[in-house]
Structure 1
Amino acid sequence: MKITVEATIHADIETVWMAWNTPEDIVKWNAASDDWHTVSAEVDLREGGQQRARMEAKDGSMGFDFVGTYVQIIPHELIEYVLEDGREVIVLFSAIDGQVKVVETFDAEHENSQEMQRAGWQAILDNFAAYVEAKNKN
């Protein structure tokens, strides 16, 4: 089953694209809740390249690596990658009137409920939107 989350960000496409793909930015927004954080990120933004993020609970109780291999990249429009477990993720970027709509569709995994997965990915996307909008004001 595929799950889709989306957000509209009040910023230009270049700002959104850079924040999505820059490791120094990713570690600032990539968390689903306040008790988690991303401690490191790497991006090799090319087809066949990989993205990596190490996500950990702030209390140190658990963590995991999130790794995907890029399949298709259309700058400022689309990023498609495949996770290590074979699940596909597609991220669409649509610039409209000084805003950018980001739509992220991913294959659900089987360990957690679809509602939990949707909520977690939406929370991360919402953090991304808030981060970019705050950064854009400065």
Structure 2
Amino acid sequence: MNITVETTVAAPIAKVWSLYNSPEAIKKWNAASDDWHTTASSVDLREGGTFSSRMEAKDGSMGFDFVGTFTKIVEHELIEYSFGDRKAKVSFTDTPAGSKVTVSFDAETTYPIEQQQQGWQAILNSFKRYVEIAS
């Protein structure tokens, strides 16, 4: 099953693209809730390049690495990547209201669909807030 989340950011596509893919920016926005944070991030933004984000609970109780490989890059338009046996696609669209970011990803089987959708949407909402404050 595929899950889709989206948001519209009040900023130009070039800025949205840059902050979505910057390791330093990712550490500032990549969390689904205030009790989590991203402590490390790397991005080799090219087809065949890899990315990694270390996500941890702020209380130190747990953490995990989100790692994948870019499979398709169209600058300012599209990022496709694989992570484990799953795939995701991020599209960037210019609209009158700003830059629309849509993320579609393969669901996993451990957590309920609703929980996965809420978590990824929360991260995307955090990204929107970060970009709009940085603009």
TM-score of the superposed pair, with normalisation by structure 2: 0.98
Q: Deviations over 1:37-78 (max 9, x none)?
A: 000100000000001000000000000000010000000000
Correspondence for 1:70: 70
2:107 is aligned with 1:100? no
Report the Cα distance in structure 2 between the residues aligned to 1:49 and 1:96, rounded to whole angstroms.
29
Report the Cα distance in structure 2 between the residues aligned to 1:127 and 1:61, rounded to whole angstroms.
22
Report the Cα distance in structure 2 between the residues aligned to 1:53 and 1:112, rounded to whole angstroms.
20
Correspondence for 2:129: 130
The root-mean-square deviation of aligned C-alpha atoms, in Å, is 0.7
Which amino acid in the other structure matches residue 22 of structure 1? S
Contact 2:40–2:53 (8 Å) recurs in 1: yes
Report the Cα distance in structure 2 between the residues aligned to 1:119 and 1:8, rounded to whole angstroms.
17
Correspondence for 1:43: 43
Correspondence for 1:12: 12
Residue 86 of structure 1, CA deviation = 1.2
Q: Which blocks of at least 5 consecutive residues in structure 2 are unaligned? A: none
Q: Deviations over 1:53-109 (max 9, x none)?
A: 0000000000000001000000000000000x2100000000123610000000000
Q: Deviations over 1:9-55 (max 9, x none)?
A: 00001110000000010000000001100001000000000010000
TM-score of the superposed pair, with normalisation by structure 1: 0.96
Report the Cα distance in structure 2 between the residues aligned to 1:6 and 1:69, rounded to whole angstroms.
22
Report the Cα distance in structure 2 between the residues aligned to 1:98 and 1:78, rounded to whole angstroms.
19
Correspondence for 2:118: 119
Correspondence for 2:28: 28
Report the Cα distance in structure 2 between the residues aligned to 1:26 and 1:119, rounded to whole angstroms.
19
Report the Cα distance in structure 1 between the residues aligned to 2:73 and 2:45, rounded to whole angstroms.
8
Where does structure 1 differ by over 2 angstroms across 4 or more consecutive aligned residues?
Answer: none
Contact 2:36–2:55 (8 Å) recurs in 1: yes
